[in-house]
Structure 1
Amino acid sequence: MKTVVYKWVVLSLALGLGGCATAPKPLYQWSNYQGPVYQYFKDNGASAAEQISLLEAQLQKNKAMGELSPPGLHAHLALLYSKLGNDGAARENLLAERNLFPESAPYIDFLLKNANRPKSDS
């Protein structure tokens, strides 16, 4: 009887303490990133300027909160800036993406190399 009570107390404590654990904080702050990307491709890129302001605001918020922005955010901003003809901001965001996520360097370098090519008249 004493063993059963002891096991019951230990089990109750383990379950009680386990219930107090908090969920781990996510590595990246995705809050306002996935929706605009989906909308951009759904609408065939119609709202580039609006998305830039949303994503830039998200970057500022992440920076202020000390949270990491997700992979691809700067690359998507580069695409949006490029669409509007702001090549300087596009390049800046591609370089930021490469610095934050070194594994993206081969692809980002490819994009930067092709961005400097003269456009052919088709």
Structure 2
Amino acid sequence: MKKSTVSPITVLFVVATILISYYSDVSSAESDPDPTPAPWPHQFHSILFVNFNGSLSLIDLWYDWTNGRNFNIIQDQLGELLYDLEWNNGTVFRYTLDGDKKKCSSALIDVGILRPN
């Protein structure tokens, strides 16, 4: 059985290639500036699945900074459909329209909707 050997030149070439590759990646990572986040649109729609301590909720979110409002339609797992309307002046309306369980409440909080900046 013939024994295979690797020449020292080949080993040196492989090691040099690995080191050069590593140091070029490290030096380019240090010189890259911090990433800039994408601009947040003034109006958008998003569908979210949220898990609050094992209870799954589906939230249909409509964000509208231009008109100063944020509208959430919240469907709790095995629960009623809740409508949550928030205005930029801090007014919040929460209501349900399910059958005989119709409810409505309002509140005034110290903050308005989340700013896009």
| Superposition TM-score, scaled by structure 2 size | 0.29
| Superposition TM-score, scaled by structure 1 size | 0.28
For CA contacts below 8 A with separation 6 or more, give which structure has more relative contact order.
1
More helix by share: 1
